[in-house]
């Protein structure tokens, strides 16, 4: 009967829209949603497994600037760190699960739209700056 | 050599080898010329609604000089997949088409022809460019062959 | 003195449906030859979306291929990854722990729920019933939330791994999932009643595109299309995999009418069964570890071959994986259900009216990206470009 659905239609007409009015309203994202991730360089040993295993091949190993090398673990002999190119990343988290040192920091940051290419370099190098014995003490 | 259940008795005369593939699939190897006869006799003995062609897997084996064709048939009364495995020479890969017996073979045969170049005799719908982009089809490249510089 | 007889031969008009068309969601060309309003011949042309995934899989390692195969289709990505992973486990002779099997079933059944809701919403949209379409999509969001809680992603789950799943759930998540399932079940029952009672839907769907069991089996049509005509085929019963043998509420849903309405009702009934199955899984989760340590998994696979099947929301999905001892597979063959249903199903349009063509197509549940496995996005420019297979193979990357 038509009236089964008509009741629903009338109810919807007088209630708040179901659409989340982003960006005025925040979307409710789970805390363990697969969002922006980066390597914590105080744990990374530069083994490059993440770069080798990445299905999209967006991780490249880049050299760590000499002035920050103090806080890097001794096992990282080549002094390299993984840099993720977020525009190609598929957020499968293979790098996170394959890392032998569990060195990846995971967040649920999903707001990654940008007009310039995004890389994880700054976030990773910041972990060295903030480390005790690194460049900055705070 | 594994045993063929009684429902598959018509295959006994054409089977060259019978073994099992993971997981629990019965593989019957036969000559390419016997394929049409085998499927026809199965349909006659088990009935027209008894089986369908689930998948046709074509693998290029350049080291053995053949293209191996696996016809995965799902036999409904047996509730099991039976694989009819046959090989055609790489130089002139031709085999009879199953289209008249199983119209459902249309999609599989068209795809294998387009990607690997196996000609199914009796299938009027074969054409290049079915899946493969036109530029490659015009060059006569069969992308899934191991030597295809795609 | 001869009399000239003029014989009028009505010309068949060719109407292309697609590749860009408001009734279709993905590019597909269906050429309908019509006489007046009635379709006399139909041809399906594909190839707009071909991605060359099978060739791509040969150039990447087995583990990278798990993520690549999961991206064959957005709607049924867990089933693709699951079928591939089970083929790998068969090659290795590995059996995942029971808790992992249950969690896999949960992920796949949640996917079945949202996929069936999607296609029913699309059917409503194709009929012009936009309000119903929007309502179903709104309630489908709850299922996407459930997927996000379980796997960490709303659409692409990336949940399957050789030896188990990639994350576990705790008590809190379990309770949240159960609450979501209760809400979704109530709404699905309501929509099922709408599909049964509504006169618009009845007029447009009943009696349209009737398929006999004989046609279905000989044309290799599978999934809800076959079950809507009474053919009892379902991989979860024939080839039970993961935890399906132990799940009691599981039952096969078939109907005898064989028309588009029956196919959509099969999907609604399957949705209800899936919700019961998910609830059963959540209430009977075995203890133990479900997540394998990915670092300890073998890099090289022993030579061999495996053929696995799974019941995707659209039908029977098959994977064939052949390994020759290297870290990359020798051959991966994916046969998706839409491949059979859409290409072989062109005969169903004959004898129908033009207005019935989208209805029949949607009742087959087309997933063209599943069918062709295409679309490469160029990473440099970020633009969607049709890369030829040459560039694909030279770069060796997606």
- pLDDT per residue as tens digits for the range C321-334: 999 988 999 999 99
Q: Does the pLDDT value for residue A59 go beyond 90?
A: yes
Q: Which residue out of C44, C92, C389 would a mutagenesis test of the B interface target, given it has the greatest number of B Cβ atoms within 10 Å? A: C389
C6 has a pLDDT exceeding 70: no
| Phi then psi dihedrals of residue A51, to 5 deg | -65, -35
Q: Which residue has the tokens 């019961």?
A: C276
Q: C84 φ, ψ to 5°?
A: -65, -45
Q: Give yes or no for residue A129 having a pLDDT over 80.
A: yes
- Cβ-defined contact of A56 to C71 (cutoff 8 Å): no
In the structure, what pLDDT confidence band is assigned to residue A85 with cuts at 50, 70 and 90? very high
A97 against C361, higher pLDDT: A97
Helix ranges, chain C (H): 53-59, 62-70, 77-92, 98-127, 130-151, 171-197, 199-205, 213-218, 224-227, 235-238, 260-283, 337-344, 356-363, 368-372, 389-395
| pLDDT tens digits for range C118-143 | 999 999 988 888 889 999 999 999 99
Q: Does A113 touch chain C (CB under 8 A)?
A: no
Q: Which residue reads 């936009």 in tokens?
A: C130
Of C218, C316, C331, the CB nearest to B102: C218
The pairs formed by C116-120 with CB atoms below 8 angstroms and a separation of 24 or more are C116/C267, C116/C268, C116/C270, C116/C271, C116/C274, C116/C313, C117/C143, C117/C188, C117/C191, C117/C271, C118/C75, C119/C264, C119/C267, C119/C313, C119/C362, C119/C365, C120/C191, C120/C195, C120/C264, C120/C267, C120/C268
CB burial of residue B12 (10 Å; 0-12, 13-18, 19+): exposed
- pLDDT at site C11: 61
Mean pLDDT, range B119-138, rounded to an integer: 81
CATH number at residue C203: 1.10.645.10
- In tens, the pLDDT along B51-76 reads 899 999 999 998 999 999 999 999 98
- Is B107 part of the contact surface with chain C (CB cutoff 8 Å)? yes
Q: Does residue C398 belong to the interface with chain B, where contact is any CB pair within 8 Å? A: no
With beta carbons less than 8 A apart as the criterion, state whether C343 and C73 touch: no
Interface contact C245, partner B, CB < 8 A: no
Euclidean distance between CA atoms B96 and B30, whole angstroms: 14
Give C360→chain A minimum CA distance, Å. Answer: 24
Tokens matching residue C174: 């379990």
Contact check, Cβ <8 Å, A92/C382: no
- The verdict on a CB contact (< 8 Å) between A30 and C67 is no
B130 contact C CB<8A: yes
Is the pLDDT score of B11 beyond 90? Answer: no
Per-residue HEC secondary structure of B54-65 comes to EEEEEEEECCCC
- Going by their DSSP bridges, the two strands B80-89 and B25-29 should be labelled as parallel
Taking contacts as CB-CB distances below 8 angstroms, the residues of chain B near C222 are 52, 54
pLDDT band at C349 (very low <50, low <70, confident <90, very high): confident
Q: How much is the pLDDT for C19?
A: 64
Q: What is the pLDDT of residues C294-305, one digit of tens each?
A: 888 988 899 999
At C346, is the pLDDT very low, low, confident or very high (cuts 50, 70, 90)? confident
| A36 contacts in chain C (CB < 8 Å) | none
- Distance between CA A33 and CA B111 in Å, rounded? 39
Distance between CA atoms of residues B57 and B54, nearest Å: 10
pLDDT at B83: 92
**If you average pLDDT over residues C179-208, what whole number do you get?**
91
Q: What DSSP string describes C210-258?
A: ---HHHHHHTT--THHHHTTT----HHHHS--TTGGG-TT------SS-
Tell me how close the Cα of C79 comes to any Cα of chain B, in angstroms.
17
- Residues of C within 8 A of A55 (CB-CB) are 60, 64, 67-68, 398
Gap between the Cα atoms of C166 and A30, Å rounded: 17
pLDDT at C30 over 90: no
Distance in angstroms (rounded) separating the CA atoms of residues B70 and B49: 21
* Residue B54 forms contact with C (CB below 8 Å): yes
pLDDT of residue C4: 72
Interchain proximity C217–B110, CB inside 8 Å: no
Which token pair is A138? 């705070």
CB B84 within 8 A of CB B39: yes
Contact C348, C209 (CB under 8 A): yes
Which pLDDT value is given to residue C147?
Answer: 93
> What number is the average pLDDT over the span C60-80?
91
C312 part of a folded domain: yes
Residue C271 has pLDDT above 80, yes or no: yes
Provide the pairing of β-strand A104-106 with A37-39.
antiparallel
The first and second tokens of residue C183, run together, are: 């809400």
Among partner residues C47, C306, C316, which is closest to B23 by beta-carbon distance? C306
Domains with residue ranges and CATH for chain B:
6-139 (3.30.460.80)
A4, A56, A98 member nearest C193 (Cβ):
A4
What pLDDT, on a 0 to 100 scale, did the predictor assign at position C83? Answer: 94
Residue A137 confidence (pLDDT) above 90: no
Q: Are C49 and C384 in contact (CB under 8 A)?
A: no
| The model's pTM | 0.87
* Residue C385, in any domain of the structure: no
B82 has pLDDT over 80:
yes
Tokens standing for residue B69: 């064709």
Q: What percent of chain B has pLDDT over 70?
A: 97
Residue A81 pLDDT: 93
B28 touches chain C (CB under 8 A): no
What pLDDT score does A22 carry? 83
Indicate contact of B with C: 3+ CB pairs under 8 A. yes
The half-sphere exposure of C330 on its side-chain side, counting CA atoms within 13 A, is 19
**pLDDT tier at C269, thresholds 50, 70, 90:** very high
Tell me the residue range of the domain where C210 lies.
Answer: 56-346+355-366
Give the closest of A2, A34, A55 to C153, CB-based. A34
**For chain C, percent of residues with pLDDT exceeding 90:** 50
From the candidate CATH numbers 3.20.20.140, 3.40.50.300, 2.20.25.650, 3.30.70.3270, the one assigned to the domain spanning A35-129: 3.30.70.3270
Mean of pLDDT values over C75-91: 93
Candidates C236, C64, C249; CA nearest to C158 is C64
- The angle at the Cα of C106, spanning C101 to C111, to the nearest 5 degrees, equals 130
Strand, coil or helix: C169:
coil
Q: Is residue C10's pLDDT more than 60?
A: no
For chains A and B, having 3+ Cβ pairs within 8 Å is answered: no
User: Is C88 in contact with B22 (CB distance < 8 Å)?
Assistant: no
What's the pLDDT score for residue C26? 62
Residue with tokens 């920091």: A105
Residue C223 exposure: Cα atoms within 13 Å on the Cβ side: 29
Whether residues C152 and A53 touch (CB distance < 8 A) is answered with no
Produce one character per residue of C25-36: b if its CB has 16 or more CB atoms within 10 Å, e if not: bbbbbbbbbbee
Among A85-99, A117-131, B124-138, C150-164, which is the least confidently predicted range?
Answer: B124-138
Query: Rounded to an integer, what distance in angstroms lies between the CA atom of residue B24 and that of residue C76?
Result: 25
B109 in reach of chain C (CB within 8 A): no
Give the mean model confidence (pLDDT) for residues A31-53. Answer: 92
Nearest to C294 among A56, A91, A98 (CB): A98
In this structure, what DSSP letter does residue B22 have? Answer: B
Check residue C394 and give its pLDDT.
37
Query: Which chains border C (3 or more CB–CB pairs < 8 Å)?
Result: A, B
Burial of A29 per CB tally in 10 Å (0-12, 13-18, 19+): middle
Confidence bin at C382 (pLDDT 50/70/90): very low
Q: What is the pLDDT of residue C306?
A: 93
Over residues C332-352, mean pLDDT: 86
Res C47 pLDDT > 70: no
Measured CA distances, C338 to B73, C33, C34, C320, C372 (Å)? 18, 23, 25, 17, 9
pLDDT of residue B123 exceeding 60, the answer is yes
Distances (CA, A) of A42 to A74, A77, A95, C257: 10, 13, 17, 65
Does the pLDDT of residue C398 top 50, yes or no?
Answer: no
Residue A82 has pLDDT above 70, yes or no: yes
C305 close to A (CB below 8 A): no
pLDDT of residue C23: 54
Minimal C-alpha gap between A87 and chain C (Å): 8
Is residue C322, in this structure, part of any structural domain at all? Answer: yes
Q: Which two tokens stand for residue C211?
A: 């398929």
C69: tokens are 């195969």
Collapsing DSSP states into helix, strand and coil, what is residue C294? helix
Q: How many CA atoms lie within 13 A of A77 on its CB side?
A: 1
CB atoms within 10 A of CB B40: 15
pLDDT band at A102 (very low <50, low <70, confident <90, very high): very high
Q: Does B119 touch chain C (CB under 8 A)?
A: no
- Contact assignment for A97 to C166 by CB distance below 8 Å: yes
User: Given CB atoms, is C347 within the 8 Å cutoff of chain B?
Assistant: yes
Inter-chain residue contact A58 with C60, CB threshold 8 Å: no
Considering its fold, how many domains does chain C have in total? 1
Q: Is A102 on the interface with C (CB under 8 A)?
A: no
Contact C50 B104 (CB under 8 A): no
Please give the average per-residue pLDDT across C373-390, as a whole number. Answer: 34
């Amino acid at each position: 009967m038509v009236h089964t659905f008509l009741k629903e239609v009338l109810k919807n007409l007088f209630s708040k829209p179901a659409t989340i009015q982003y960006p005025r309203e925040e979307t409710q994202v789970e805390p363990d949603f697969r969002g922006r991730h980066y390597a914590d360089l105080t744990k990374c040993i530069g083994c490059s497994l993440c770069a080798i295993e990445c299905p999209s091949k967006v991780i490249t190993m880049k050299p760590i600037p000499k002035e920050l090398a103090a806080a890097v673990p001794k096992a990282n002999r080549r002094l390299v760190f993984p840099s993720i190119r977020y525009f190609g990343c598929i957020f499968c988290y293979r790098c996170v699960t394959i890392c032998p040192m569990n060195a990846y920091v995971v967040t649920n940051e999903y707001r990654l739209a940008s007009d310039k290419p995004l890389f994880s370099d700054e976030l990773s190098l910041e972990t060295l700056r903030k480390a005790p014995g690194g460049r900055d003490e705070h | 050599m594994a045993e063929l259940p009684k429902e598959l008795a018509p295959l006994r005369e054409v089977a060259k080898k019978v073994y099992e593939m993971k997981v629990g699939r019965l593989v019957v190897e036969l000559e390419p010329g016997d394929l049409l006869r085998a499927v026809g006799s199965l349909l006659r003995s088990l009935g027209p609604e008894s089986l369908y062609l689930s998948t046709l897997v074509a693998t290029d084996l350049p080291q053995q000089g053949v293209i191996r064709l696996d016809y995965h048939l799902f036999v409904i009364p047996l509730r099991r997949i039976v694989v009819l495995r046959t090989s055609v020479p790489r130089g002139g890969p031709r085999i009879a088409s199953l289209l008249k017996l199983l119209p459902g073979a249309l999609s599989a045969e068209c795809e294998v022809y387009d990607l690997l170049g196996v000609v199914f005799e009796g299938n009027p719908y074969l054409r290049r460019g079915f899946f493969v982009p036109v530029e490659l089809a015009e060059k006569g490249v069969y992308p899934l062959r191991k030597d295809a510089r795609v | 003195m001869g009399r000239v007889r003029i014989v009028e031969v009505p010309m068949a008009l060719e109407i292309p449906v697609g590749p860009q068309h408001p009734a279709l969601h993905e590019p597909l060309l269906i050429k309908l030859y019509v006489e007046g309003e009635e379709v006399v011949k139909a041809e399906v042309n594909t190839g707009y979306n071909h991605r060359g995934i099978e060739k791509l899989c040969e150039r990447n390692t087995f583990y990278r291929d798990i993520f690549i195969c999961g991206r064959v289709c957005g709607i049924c990505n867990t089933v693709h990854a699951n079928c591939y992973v089970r083929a790998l486990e068969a090659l290795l002779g590995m059996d995942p722990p029971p808790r992992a099997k249950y969690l896999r079933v949960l992920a796949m059944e949640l996917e079945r729920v949202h996929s069936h809701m999607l296609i029913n919403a699309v059917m409503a949209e194709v009929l012009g019933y936009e309000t119903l379409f929007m309502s179903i999509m709104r309630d489908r969001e709850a299922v996407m939330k459930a997927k996000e809680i379980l796997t960490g992603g709303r659409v692409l789950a990336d949940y399957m791994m050789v030896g188990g799943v990639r994350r576990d759930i705790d008590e809190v998540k379990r309770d949240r999932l159960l609450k979501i399932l209760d809400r979704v079940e109530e709404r699905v029952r309501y929509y099922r009643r709408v599909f049964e009672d509504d006169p618009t839907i009845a007029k447009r769907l009943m009696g349209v595109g009737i398929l006999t069991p004989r046609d279905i089996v000989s044309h290799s049509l599978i999934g809800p299309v076959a079950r809507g005509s009474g053919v009892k085929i379902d991989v979860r019963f024939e080839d039970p995999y993961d935890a399906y043998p132990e799940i009691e509420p599981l039952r096969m849903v078939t109907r005898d009418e064989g028309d588009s309405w029956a196919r959509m009702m099969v999907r609604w009934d399957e949705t209800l069964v899936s919700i019961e199955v998910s609830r059963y899984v959540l209430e009977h989760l075995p203890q133990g570890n479900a997540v394998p340590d990915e670092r300890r998994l073998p890099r090289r696979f022993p030579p061999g071959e495996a053929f696995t099947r799974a019941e995707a929301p659209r039908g029977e999905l098959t994977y064939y994986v052949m390994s020759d001892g290297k870290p990359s597979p020798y051959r991966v063959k994916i046969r998706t259900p839409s491949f059979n249903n859409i290409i072989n199903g062109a005969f169903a349009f004959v004898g129908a009216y033009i207005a019935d063509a989208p209805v029949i197509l949607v009742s087959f549940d087309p997933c063209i990206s599943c069918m062709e496995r295409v679309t490469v996005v160029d990473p440099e420019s970020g633009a969607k470009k049709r890369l030829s297979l040459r560039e694909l193979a030279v770069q060796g990357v997606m």
